[in-house]
A and B are shown apart, each in its own frame.
Chain A
Amino acid sequence: MNVPLSSVLPTLRTQARRHAVLRALAVAAPPGIALAALTALGIALPMTSLLGVLVLVTALALGWRDARRLDARWLARRLDASFREFDDSAALIVSPPDAPTPLQALQQARLERRLAATFAAQGLPDFRAPLPRAAIARSAAVSLLLVLLVLLVLAAQRGLFDRGDAASIASGPAASAGAIELADARVRVTPPAYTGLSATTESSADIKAPLGSALAWSLRFSGEPRTAALRLSDGRVLPLTKQGERWTATDTLQQSALYRIAFNDVEPAAGVRAYRLDAVPDQAPEITVRLPEKTLTLLDAAPKEWPLDIEARDDYALGAAVLTITLAQGSGEQVKVTEQTRVLDGGSARRERRYRTTIDVAALGYAQGDDLIVRLSVSDNHAPEPNVASTASYILRWPQRRATDTAGLDGPVQKVLPAYFRSQRQIIIDTEALIAARPTLAASAFEETSDTLGVDQKVLRLRYGQFLGEGFESAAERAPAEAAAATGADAPAESLKQIPGEAEAPEASRNGLGQAEDVLHEFGHAHDIDEAATLLDPETRRLLKRALDEMWQAELNLRQAKPVDALPYEYKALDYIKQVQQAERIYLQRAGLELPQADLSRRLTGERKDLSDRRIVLPTAAADGSPVPAIVAALDAGTRPDLSTLNAWLAAHPDATPDALGVLAAADQVQREPDCGRCRADLKARLWPLLPVPPTALKARRTPDAAGSAWLDAIGSVPR
């Protein structure tokens, strides 16, 4: 080979160097592997990874230090020692001088020749030191020992060496001989499809699931009963069927209940544990209206548009949102109400949506004196019927300047119901006009007008219905009605609404109906209470009822675009109304003030004969039959409370507490373990909010002791 030695020999050195590093790594390998294993198992994590990194770094450092020692001089020494042919002058080849003397050059040439042959025959020498087996073995042993130590410490920590813990881990009271118990419970809960929740498997017998979920129990018992069944607190019994080792049953969760497992058709004793079934009902969506800010918005000038911003939130998913826009046009008796609906889009989010829209008010035909009412109904996706939540009605009102309406004043005698009387006549006139104009109108326009007339008729019917104590439909219809009443006939209007406490309200209404302060007046009537409305004598009531029936028929036909059929009903209604108008008396009742009849013969005479004191009796407060105070008193005294009536009372008062099942479970616990002080305290705490508010008790002061009494007596005798 003709490669000069000076280029070949350094490779020996690099080889040896690399090998030195490898040797260091080999020694560090066993602890490194051990630490890596511990890190992978997650044991003593930050420590082991840090140590592993440390070991690696140390090994590299040591290896590098060893490698550095294998420099050119070492190579020269080794070569000199290994090959006599070098004549102890290997340094000349390995680190040749820059300017060799003739002798040196000569020796170099000689060496080259000599050793080229040697190396050709023997090959290049290998100066790599062998792997230090002993060191590796030692390090392996030490690392193994350390790993074992770590595992031992961890096992001791985890208490694997504690004897007898298996007994304490067992849950539940000690089973008496022969009692079968629930060993393992697996319940597959499949929520209804519309909720979008996935089916889960619960491993405890206490279940909390959405209402309507399908439950599939799979239970394993500690013994072998003949039959087993689940007895629910609402009386139902679900028999369990044996399938292999496990007992199964299925049911749909319709309401919250407690249940117990009954074996062999034996009623489970009161001491057996009851499990909970919590049904979480689907709540209706929650709606927050951001715009408009107030329910009644009053305008001064012509509006362009009305922005709406409403947020809705549901627990599972939102459905359609329908905006109902009602426009009440006109005033006095001529109120035309049109209604339209619009579906709003709030995005495609499942649970939270924001509906933003603006209503083009002018396009609807909004003018001064009109009311625009909007209401949003949002439904969720509850199956079979969606829960619908609606906002309040938001009114946009542009108040009309008060114009004196002289329609109702027909001389000094007030006719009782002149305004309404005219409205019915107006409807008849409009219907006849519509029938006459039928050939000229398009079909859709005809239907629309007919429908509008039908709505007018409905409004009129409702206004009359007020006198019979029927409810009103919406504020919009009520407000123009009151405007009509107030402007139409002052005194009767005032007397018609004379409900105590609101004597001043008609004053306010006269100043400007539609003021925000009129909310009490508008919404404060108790229209669904018979006594609060105008009382008519039975004959008049009958007439009015008949009139309403006729009006209802007329409305039906008008809304179906059959004004011809509606006309006779309208005439009949007008007849009845005329009769009612001529009724003799209309009584007005003031609730709460029962003035006795004045004895006119004795009035203003000043006679005090036969007058005597009057008895005023204060009725004693009646207890409302709640068993809760008695139970709380018994819990306090340490005696056994009577919990049998609690179930019935809670069922009768579902709004008393949000967690009725918790109260029942606590009561069940107390019945199971009567001596458990903690259970009694827990039941008492749960019953606390159900207690009725007690009247404040009183305690007298105490007499002072002998010295005090003597002192008081002594002072008492001193004149003031």
Chain B
Amino acid sequence: MTSELTPMHLSLAVLALAAVAGAARAWRREVARRHGVLRAGLSVALVAALALALFPPRVSRPADTVTVLTPGATAADLKALPWFATAVALPGAMAPKTIETAPDLATALRRHPEARTVDVRGNGLPPRDQPVAAMLPLRFMPGAERGLVALNAPARALLGTQWRLDGRALLPAVRVELRDPSGAVVDQVTLGVDGAFRLSALARATGEARYELRAFDAAQGLVEAASIPLLIEPGEGLRAIVRAGAPDPELKYWRRWASDAGIAVAVSAGVSDGLSLRDGDAALTASALAESDLVIVDERAWLALLPAEKSALLAAVRDGLGLLLRVAGPLEPGVAADWQALGLVTENLDTPSTVTLDRRTGLRARETFTAAPVTITATGWERLLEDDRGAPLAQWRSEGRGRIGVWTLLDSYRLVLLGEPARYGSLWQTALATITRPRAPEAEAALPATGWIDERSVLCGLGDRAAVLAPSGALITLLPRVDRCAAFWPGESGWHRIQSGAESRPFYVRAADDAPGLRAARDRAATRRLVGRTADDVALRDVPLPRWPFALLFLLLASALWWRERPR
């Protein structure tokens, strides 16, 4: 209390005078003494209530926590807060009008400098507030997870592949659907026990494509929609030499696919002793091997190889060539011995085994395939293809600079007969891409991760004059820093292009209502990572008591006094 006369002092003085005057008047008015005492007491109490309502007393309470309400905070969260808590609502949070709003966390902390801890409720802090929150101890009570919470989709795919995505979605979603850029449904599945799902679609044309994932609830209402941006790229031409022991359907369909996919194939399929069906020159000479990227040899063709050819082959593999050993039946002892030298311990079985590839290829109908009647024990070899039960169907290892693979699936061509040429192609594409001769890497700059509109994203790998072409045609100049990265704040959603020098890279910006569950999951995960130490000492703060009880008391006392004093 200072010695100055503040308005508070003046008002209190006036109220005290009024109390005394009122009490005296009340005392005099009454005839009976006890009535007089009662009346006087009431009027004094009345004035006291008014004084308290106008200038409520302050109490000491721990006030070092600022409760930040983020989107996803519910009314229950708000009710659970104590009355003296400071609550600040960030943009997007559903909070009643009485709660203070701040445009971001830094502003809220500036307004409450005494805050030592931040208590976050809801889905977590957006990326712009995460660096600020990293400076303070943080507590986080996440809201309930809902809708699409995880999505793992490729950013790029090759033309013609049946690319796959998986993810997780929680209640109220019970079914997810994948739509291609034209809006047609290409795949759908009911969610599994923990909400996991796997979907696949065909990449039909090169360029930018936007697929859409929709989650529906039990009443077929739309729960959430998420865009899946995909950049579809054309492939490269390869050269392959195939030596088959005999023509079989697997060779036939493989040749068809390889020829369509741009692989120049030279085939030699043995027909009889010394006779073969040829296409191109399939001789295994050092020069031919140096030019090709891949050699596929059957176990029967291996038997017919000359020692010179075998050594040339292995030398070329060490130099970078890819060799795929295809097992189509039981192995002859000579072949088994040779391959043992390469590292494969084989054992012939009586019958071929049946395998299923549903999960691997994403087939929706259960189909069985056949694996060769050979068990291969290859220690140290990597898995190239597994069936649904986890048994290896194809394996590889590196030899020098090249790689050797072994393939035991007999009838992958049945995928084409089932009407799924894209899945057949994807299966072989992933297998061969691992084994072929490596090529020089392109100066491929990474695509920026998909961000949302109105969120700052950082684009790296820029040249001197970099700009972003928005979907509406606006060109936004970027200012790259020394490390060749620039910040960009997208104002539109859709496919943008970074133009830096001569190259042009596309990236996708999601709209505000696109995949809200994913955004919430991202913020939740990031905020959880920031939860750290708690403050040691607890700061106390003087907080005024709420006024409304005193005002209510004033009202009641005034009504009581009026009732007593009203003219009858």
Chain A interfacial positions (CB closer than 8 Å to B): 608, 611-618, 620-621, 629, 632-633, 635-637, 675, 677-678, 681, 684-689, 691, 693-704, 709, 712-713, 715-716, 720
Contact = CB atoms under 8 A, between A and B. Distances in A.
Contacts of B271: 614
A697 B261 contact: yes
A266 B202 CA distance: 46
19 contacts: A614-B276, A617-B279, A618-B259, A684-B181, A685-B183, A688-B180, A688-B205, A696-B161, A696-B422, A698-B235, A698-B236, A699-B429, A699-B433, A700-B293, A700-B438, A701-B436, A702-B439, A703-B441, A716-B399
Given A616-B278, A633-B205, A693-B204, A698 B440 contact: no
Interface in B390-448: 398-401, 421-422, 424-426, 428-429, 432-442
Nearest to A695: B260
A635 B181 CA distance: 14
Contacts of A621: 259-260
Given A620-B259, A696-B261, A720-B343, 4 more contacts: A613-B277, A616-B279, A636-B206, A675-B473
A637 B504 CA distance: 10
Contacts of A681: 471, 494
Contacts of A701: 433-436, 438-439
Contact of A697 (B208, B234, B398, B424): B234
Contacts of A694: 159-160, 204-205
B257 A696 contact: yes
A613 B276 CA distance: 5
The main secondary structure of chain B at its interface with chain A is mixed
B5 interface: no
Contacts of A720: 341, 343
B438 A712 contact: no
Given A613-B276, A618-B255, A701-B438, A693 B261 contact: no
A675 B255 CA distance: 43
B131 interface: no
Interface string B110-149: 0000000000000000000000000000000000000000
Contacts of A700: 236, 238, 293, 433, 436-439
Nearest to B158: A697
Given A616-B279, A697-B261, A685 B433 contact: no
A636 B206 CA distance: 8
Contacts, number: 162
A616 B400 contact: no
Contact of A699 (B235, B257, B494): B235
Given A688-B182, A693-B422, A698 B432 contact: yes
Contacts of A618: 255-256, 259, 279
Interface string B322-335: 00000000000000
A693 B261 CA distance: 12
Interface in B265-288: 267, 269, 271-272, 274-279
B277 to A, nearest CB: 5
Nearest to B183: A685
B501 interface: no
B262 interface: yes
Contacts of A611: 272, 274-275
B438 A698 contact: no
Contacts of B181: 684-685, 688
A-B pairs, top 5 by smallest CB distance, nearest first, are: A696-B425, A697-B235, A636-B207, A695-B260, A716-B400
Contacts of A613: 275-278
Contact of B278 (A615, A686, A712, A716): A615
Contacts of A677: 471-473, 494
Given A611-B275, A616-B278, A695-B260, A703 B206 contact: no
A161 to B, nearest CB: 27
A612 B236 contact: no
Contacts of B205: 629, 632-633, 636, 688, 691, 694
A697 B434 contact: no
B436 A612 contact: no
Contacts of B471: 677-678, 681
A698 B262 contact: yes
A704 B275 contact: no
A633 B207 contact: yes
Given A688-B181, A712-B398, A697 B262 contact: yes
Contacts of B274: 608, 611
Given A688-B204, A688-B205, A716-B401, A702 B441 contact: yes
B263 interface: yes
Nearest to A712: B401
A697 B259 contact: no
B182 A702 contact: no
Interface in B207-236: 207-209, 233-236
B184 interface: yes
A615 B182 CA distance: 44
Contacts of A712: 398, 400-401
A407 to B, nearest CB: 43
B44 to A, nearest CB: 37
Nearest to A612: B275
Contacts of B207: 632-633, 635-637
B318 interface: yes
A18 B255 CA distance: 106
A696 B439 contact: no
Given A613-B278, A614-B278, A696-B429, A689 B184 contact: yes
B438 A695 contact: no
Contacts of B399: 716
A686 B209 CA distance: 12
B67 to A, nearest CB: 36
Which one of A608, A629, A696, A716 has the greatest number of beta carbons of chain B within 10 Å? A696
B276 A686 contact: no
B406 to A, nearest CB: 15
A709 B398 CA distance: 12
Interface string B159-171: 1110000000000
Interface in B518-559: none
A661 to B, nearest CB: 16
Nearest to B440: A703
A75 B343 CA distance: 125
Contacts of A608: 274
A548 B323 CA distance: 65
A291 to B, nearest CB: 30
A276 B334 CA distance: 74
B88 to A, nearest CB: 32
A694 B472 CA distance: 30
Nearest to B251: A616
B473 A696 contact: no
A427 B438 CA distance: 79
A608 B238 CA distance: 37
Nearest to A628: B205
A686 to B, nearest CB: 6
A697 B202 CA distance: 12
A700 B183 CA distance: 32
Which one of A684, A687, A695 has the greatest number of beta carbons of chain B within 10 Å? A695
Contacts of A614: 271, 275-278
B401 A693 contact: no
A548 to B, nearest CB: 40
Contact of A693 (B182, B202, B272, B473): B202
A696 B473 CA distance: 33
Nearest to A690: B182
A698 B429 contact: yes
Contacts of A695: 160, 257, 260-262, 421, 425
Contacts of A716: 318, 399-401
Given A618-B255, A685-B182, A713-B401, A702 B438 contact: yes
Nearest to A703: B438
Contacts of B401: 709, 712-713, 716
A717 to B, nearest CB: 8
Contacts of B158: 696-699
